[in-house]
Amino acid sequence: MRKLTGALLMAAMLVPAWSAAQKWEGLADTPQMGWNSWNKFGQNISEKLIREQADAMVAEGLVDAGYIYLNMDDCWHGERDADGFVQPDPKTFPSGIEALADYVHSKGMKLGIYSDAGRKTCAGRTGSFGHEYQDALQYARWGIDYLKYDWCSSENINPRGAYTLMRDALRAAGRPILFSMCEWGTNKPWEWAENVGHSWRTTGDITARFAGNPRQRGWGQTVLSIIDQNAPLRKYAGPGHWNDPDMLEVGNGMSVNEDRAHFSMWCMMAAPLILGNDLSKMTDETRAIILNKKVIAIDQDKLGVQGLRFKTENEIEYWFKPLEGGDWAFCLLNRGTEPVECNINWQDLNLTDDEVSHLSTSFDAITYNIENLWEFNAKKAKVGTTKKALKVTVPGHDVAMYRLTPNKK
């Protein structure tokens, strides 16, 4: 009897921990998709802005396309109250975060918030250091669904300890909150954070620049410099734990070719797709890029494998990403500024992904149908099969991107 009581007691103690872990699972089986205020609006955010972006997200069909998280970045914060609970800035968020969360939820979206493991955020607002459990509880009470957790003023803080502490605080608060680690790759989170965060930043901050030298070490990254840092980390990514090469700059000033290449490559790398432009003022070109469902499907593929750079020939990189059901995504990235004519002989591209999926393209044994993912005319998008070589000219700072599907006939 005593043994039985002991066993029951143990089972009862295990239940809360188990159900909290269950809530945690499944939040990022595919990379998260949404919008974040930082890249376009920086420190100038308000509840009015967030509501406007929420309205635009619905009106533009972005929510239907899968962009469900609407994330406030730095500078929503006011002071802590007498009990230490963090409050929003009363001037810019006068109705409070709970009202904002209700609004965002009523539109079919989820609300994200931002904090920092140190005493101060990167813009000098209050950080979570010493208040981790209290902050997690506050977010849960407000109805928050996503936390981006930054790494400024973190001197003398152990990174693994700090991020695990916040993970545990979020779990204890009891609400499923996606945990997006923003530690910039400084302490190699890919080596230790598989069970800590749903994603981790792999680099310093992105800017709306495609190429050229990063402005400073770590900061002012370009699309190409980020690709080069993120590419070797593919073996660490998978469902529930993604490499995060930072938020998108599509629509923030690069050329249409560069925006298309940036978006395509983030999808090839199974990156979180967090838009960073003003959704209330978009050009048709920006719309066509971020709403390309066939390209989004490459990112969101259930297999959850980050793509691989198979080879580089002068300015052209050959990328492959294995997909569910034997399909492959294939992308030619032109790093240079001049157009390059490519003659794709499929037999030269036989490869096995030894590192992650162990799948092979087997072009000698399998014939694939080829679909051009950036051709919007359905008929023209079908560009034959891998029985014949493919000729394509890739413009400077652009891509050609295809889905290969085994021909079952």
Q: Which residue number, 135 or 353, has a Cβ lying nearer to ligand GLA?
A: 135
Please report whether residue 119 would count as binding ligand GLA according to CB under 6 A: no
Least distance from C-beta 246 to ligand GLA, angstroms?
7
The Cα 374–Cα 399 span in angstroms is 9
The Cα 143–Cα 150 span in angstroms is 20
Torsion from C-alpha of 348, 354, 360, 361, nearest 10 degrees:
-40
Query: Is residue 205 flagged as an active site residue?
Result: yes
Member of 24, 38, 142, 363 binding ligand GLA (CB under 6 A): 38
29 closest CA partner among 192, 171, 242 = 242
Annotate each residue in 156-195 with x if it binds ligand GLA (CB under 6 A) or - if it does not, as one string.
--------------------------x-------------
Q: How many residues bind ligand GLA (CB under 6 A)?
A: 9
Q: Which residue has the tokens 């965002």?
A: 104
Please report whether residue 244 would count as binding ligand GLA according to CB under 6 A: no
The Cα 51–Cα 85 span in angstroms is 24
Stretch of 87-95, 115-123, 275-283, 352-360 contacting ligand GLA, by CB under 6 A: 115-123
Least distance from C-beta 74 to ligand GLA, angstroms?
4
Q: Which residue number, 150 or 353, has a Cβ lying nearer to ligand GLA?
A: 150
Please report whether residue 73 would count as binding ligand GLA according to CB under 6 A: yes
What's the farthest any 2 CA atoms get from each other in the chain? 80
Residue 216 has phi, psi (to 5 degrees) of -135, 165
Query: Is residue 150 flagged as an active site residue?
Result: yes
Least distance from C-beta 182 to ligand GLA, angstroms?
5
Member of 70, 100, 109, 122 binding ligand GLA (CB under 6 A): 122
Please report whether residue 74 would count as binding ligand GLA according to CB under 6 A: yes
Please report whether residue 205 would count as binding ligand GLA according to CB under 6 A: yes
Helix (H) or strand (E) holding 331: strand 328-334
CA distances from 181 to 150, 267, 352, 403 (A): 7, 19, 31, 31
Residue 331 has phi, psi (to 5 degrees) of -135, 130
The Cα 96–Cα 88 span in angstroms is 6
Least distance from C-beta 183 to ligand GLA, angstroms?
9
Q: Which residue number, 45 or 308, has a Cβ lying nearer to ligand GLA?
A: 45
The Cα 65–Cα 58 span in angstroms is 10
Q: Which residue number, 121 or 257, has a Cβ lying nearer to ligand GLA?
A: 121
Q: Which residue number, 6 or 42, has a Cβ lying nearer to ligand GLA?
A: 42
Catalytic residue among 205, 246, 353, 398: 205
Q: Which residue has the tokens 């939040």?
A: 27
Least distance from C-beta 151 to ligand GLA, angstroms?
8
Least distance from C-beta 75 to ligand GLA, angstroms?
7
Catalytic residue among 150, 244, 327, 353: 150
The Cα 262–Cα 268 span in angstroms is 10
The Cα 51–Cα 56 span in angstroms is 9
Looking at 37-107, which runs of residues are DSSP E strands? 69-71, 77-80, 86-88
The Cα 273–Cα 359 span in angstroms is 25
Residues with catalytic function: 150, 205
Residues that bind ligand GLA (CB under 6 A): 38, 73-74, 121-123, 150, 182, 205
